[in-house]
Amino acid sequence: MSRQPIDELVERQRTEPEAVLKERLERLAKTIELKTTDRVPFFFNSCSHALSRYYKMSEVVFNYEIFKRAAVKFVEDFPLDAFMIAPGVESTTLTMGLAIVNEYPELVSYYSPWITGPMHDILRDKYTRWPGREVGPYAPPQFYASKFMEAEEYDKLIENPTEFILKVIVPRGTENLSDLGSAKYVATITRLILERQKVSEVLDKTLAEVRARGVPTITPGYCKAPLDCIGDLLRHITSVLVDLHRCPDKVKLATEAILPLALKYAEATTPPQSPLPPLPRLLFIPLHLNDMLPPKLYNEFYWPTLKKIIVEMYSKGVRSYLLCEGDHSPHVNTILELPKGWGIAHFERPKNFIKDVWEKLKGHTVVMGGIPSTLLIGGTPEKIEEYVKNLLREVGPEPGFILSTGVAEIDPTTPAENLKALLNTLFKYGEHRR
Amino acid sequence: MVLREDFVNALLELDERKTIDATKKRLEAGEDPVEILNDLKYVAEKIGEKYERGEFFVADLVMAGEILKEITDLVKPKLDELGKVRKTIGKFVIGTVEGDIHDIGKNIVVMMAGVAGFDVIDLGVDVPPQKFVEAIKQYNPDIVGMSGLLTFAIDSMKKTVDAIEEAGLRDKVKIIIGGGRVDQYAKEYTGADAWTLSAAEGVRIMLRWIDEKQGGVNI
């Protein structure tokens, strides 16, 4: 097979990584500013599942050295324009971070939104399931929302969210923090912080090595829509959906009570300066209940507080990056209420990516996504090339498009030649034609 | 008939109080509890239609599920008292595939399929392929449902369909896959007969299969 653009880029990022890094940063920064650039960028965001193509999943999330090796190998094999990687999934630490941020914003970095395997062992949290622990060694770590709050407890949450979360929710959701004020409780917090320091060191090294391969690392702040905080961290998803019918006023008051904490958490976790200029400061907001809500409920209970976070952070120079799970197309028009250039909307599976999303938002919002993960898993290189070529043709010359998989993951069973076909097609046909 | 209409309309409007009142009134009027449960099959079909038209979302299905559970709880004692049993329309085995522990979607399917009249065997979450195979041998279902939220589940679904094929049972069952990541590509890759993103649509597909089977069409 003749030498392909992907081969040249793999070699260039090895021989002149600094130049390639600079090109990629400029490409992504311009795209985020909705300006024309040399070609469409490919940005991949992963919770580490993609890395288990090299090692057992349980090793990737329980052994930091293996995590680092796998992350570096991934960008050596697949030359990404930007890489965002978390070595775990959301858990108790996010709940705790939201609770303490009002009084101790400077300590929130110790309470990362996600936990790693060893942090799960320390906490014995009930939010997550881990490979080699609760599920098989090849399955990815999973967030499993449970119910830690009853409907009758909304008043307590509304009255003092910090106290309610720390004294009621954290003990219920975390086995080793269940006995508030006990020696075990203090020991668990101490171990957690020590472990978090280890994770930070490894993560910093990993990201530096990825950048040394010419690949920009995206390290945004983190936040959730207040209704998702209730659904994912406190009440459970199905319970909060029922609450919207049975006690709507309380749910609304609870989202308003959580909003200031969510906003402060966003500010506290977002780096004060851009870690990689010319990229702007970014804030990651994964949406969860969005796809499940009819527009009437979305517009009343979900969007108002989420919108406030995005607009407030935008006024501080921070661009939000929304990961819109499921089919967000019924709610796309609300995005147009935001100021032009507010940030990135990553769509998992709108019914019609071009018609429902791109055509409505282009020129206003950076749109990300477009590739079904299932096509990568089960398709052929030829099918993928045809799909990507067609997608790029339909997107056209308008700037502000970032190619990515719909869901923020690439399954480890995805054949390497399929992923390479995706990138190769982008490198061949992704230039902006004006 | 007015009572029945009130009942069905209140349910489709997700008006919890009105639906429960209408159920109580029907029972007090001496209606056959089996008839009330049979109406739920009609409701399940209507909910499926509403979902397909974009009028119903997951939140609506969850609320409908809550109300349907309350109705069943009200009707069941009357059914037991009269010694009656609702005739099931088919047998359905479902589980979240191996490696995936998500069950919100699966639980909605279990509820809606039960309401529609299926005899539902729920295998739970993180179900290995062999357990599906054993369940098919044990229960002889018409339909097998495989649920999963993760991208990882797609490969597990394929392994499960393959195991059913290897056991020589593939021709005996229709297979439907469902969950956040499934689509036409996943259907082709796994070798399932149908895919769906929604419990409501999934149950409609299953009802169609049962109708076809009863109409003499091979499934």
pLDDT of residue A1: 64
- A271 touches B at CB < 8 Å: no
- Say if the Cβ atoms of A411 and B154 lie within 8 Å: yes
Q: Point out the residue among B62, B126, B155 whose CB comes nearest to the CB of A377.
A: B155
pLDDT at A434 over 60: no
- Say if the Cβ atoms of A139 and B104 lie within 8 Å: no
pLDDT at B12 over 70: yes
- A227 touches B at CB < 8 Å: no
- Say if the Cβ atoms of A378 and B102 lie within 8 Å: no
Mean of pLDDT over chain A: 96
pLDDT at B1 over 70: no
How many CB pairs below 8 Å do chains A and B form together? 105
A153: pLDDT confidence band, cut at 50, 70 and 90? very high
pLDDT of residue A279: 97
Which residues of chain A lie closer than 8 angstroms to B60, CB-CB? 294
- Say if the Cβ atoms of B182 and A374 lie within 8 Å: yes
Indicate the pTM of the whole model.
Answer: 0.95
List the single range of A31-35, A380-384, B32-36, B129-133 with lowest mean pLDDT.
B32-36
- A371 touches B at CB < 8 Å: no
Chain B 81-110, residues with CB within 8 Å of chain A CB atoms: 98-102, 104, 107
Query: What's the Cα-to-Cα distance from B119 to each of A170, B63, B116, B175, B214, rounded to whole Å?
Result: 39, 22, 9, 16, 16
pLDDT of residue A406: 83
Q: Point out the residue among B100, B126, B181 whose CB comes nearest to the CB of A373.
A: B181
User: Best interface-test mutation with B: which of A46, A245, A329, A376 has the largest number of B CBs within 10 A?
Assistant: A245
| C-alpha–C-alpha distance, residues B127 and B164, integer Å | 13
Residue in A closest to B191 by C-alpha: A378
- Say if the Cβ atoms of A411 and B151 lie within 8 Å: yes
Chain B 120-149, residues with CB within 8 Å of chain A CB atoms: 126
pLDDT of residue A49: 94
Chain A 87-106, residues with CB within 8 Å of chain B CB atoms: none
- B27 touches A at CB < 8 Å: no
- Say if the Cβ atoms of A135 and B126 lie within 8 Å: yes
Residue in B closest to A292 by C-alpha: B58
- B3 touches A at CB < 8 Å: no
Q: Point out the residue among B101, B107, B181 whose CB comes nearest to the CB of A144.
A: B101
pLDDT at B219 over 50: no
pLDDT at A277 over 80: yes
Query: What's the Cα-to-Cα distance from A348 to each of A33, A83, A95, A243, B51, rounded to whole Å?
Result: 22, 17, 25, 26, 19
**In chain A, pLDDT over 70 holds for what percent of residues?**
99
- Say if the Cβ atoms of A291 and B186 lie within 8 Å: no
User: Best interface-test mutation with B: which of A51, A57, A228, A238 has the largest number of B CBs within 10 A?
Assistant: A238
The string of pLDDT tens digits covering residues A339-373 is 999 999 999 999 899 999 999 999 999 999 999 99
| C-alpha–C-alpha distance, residues A169 and A395, integer Å | 46
A433: pLDDT confidence band, cut at 50, 70 and 90? low
pLDDT at B206 over 70: yes
ipTM given for this complex: 0.92
- B157 touches A at CB < 8 Å: no
The string of pLDDT tens digits covering residues A49-71 is 999 999 999 999 999 999 999 99
- B162 touches A at CB < 8 Å: no
Q: What is the mean pLDDT of residues B56-80?
A: 93
- Say if the Cβ atoms of B188 and A378 lie within 8 Å: yes
pLDDT at A428 over 50: yes
| C-alpha–C-alpha distance, residues B52 and B205, integer Å | 12
CB contact set of A55 (below 8 Å; sequence gap of 6+): A66, A69, A70
pLDDT at B61 over 90: yes
Residue in A closest to B184 by C-alpha: A374
B218: pLDDT confidence band, cut at 50, 70 and 90? very low
Q: Residue B12 is encoded by which pair of tokens?
A: 């489709």
The string of pLDDT tens digits covering residues A384-412 is 999 999 999 999 999 999 999 987 689 99
pLDDT of residue A193: 97
pLDDT at A40 over 60: yes
Q: Is A320 helix (H, G, I), strand (E, B) or coil?
A: strand
Q: What is the mean pLDDT of residues B183-205?
A: 94
Mean of pLDDT over chain B: 93
Amino acid at A40: V
Alpha-carbon dihedral A156, A161, A167, A172, rounded to 10 degrees: 80
- Say if the Cβ atoms of A326 and B180 lie within 8 Å: yes
The string of pLDDT tens digits covering residues A242-272 is 999 999 999 999 999 999 999 999 999 999 9
The string of pLDDT tens digits covering residues B144-176 is 999 999 989 999 999 999 999 999 999 999 999
B216: pLDDT confidence band, cut at 50, 70 and 90? low
**In chain B, pLDDT over 70 holds for what percent of residues?**
98
The string of pLDDT tens digits covering residues A110-131 is 999 999 999 999 999 999 999 9
Residue in B closest to A131 by C-alpha: B99
pLDDT at A163 over 80: yes
- A332 touches B at CB < 8 Å: no
- Say if the Cβ atoms of B58 and A375 lie within 8 Å: no
Q: Residue A96 is encoded by which pair of tokens?
A: 């705790």
Q: Point out the residue among A140, A244, A325 whose CB comes nearest to the CB of B59.
A: A244
Q: Pairing between strand A401-405 and A128-129? A: unpaired
List the single range of A165-179, A199-213, B35-49, B165-179 with lowest mean pLDDT.
B35-49
Which residues of chain A lie closer than 8 angstroms to B185, CB-CB? 372, 374-375, 377-379
Q: Point out the residue among B56, B59, B197 whose CB comes nearest to the CB of A241.
A: B59
pLDDT at B2 over 80: no
Contact B18, B6 (CB under 8 A): yes
Backbone angles phi, psi at A141, to 5 degrees: -65, 145
- Say if the Cβ atoms of B185 and A292 lie within 8 Å: no
Amino acid at B7: F
Q: Is A25 helix (H, G, I), strand (E, B) or coil?
A: helix
N-terminal to C-terminal alpha carbon distance within chain B: 36
Q: Is A90 helix (H, G, I), strand (E, B) or coil?
A: strand
Our CA-based measurement puts residue B109 at a distance from the nearest CA of chain A, in whole angstroms, of: 14
| C-alpha–C-alpha distance, residues A151 and A186, integer Å | 30
Strands, E assignment, A64-186? 82-85, 89-90, 114-115, 128-129, 142-143
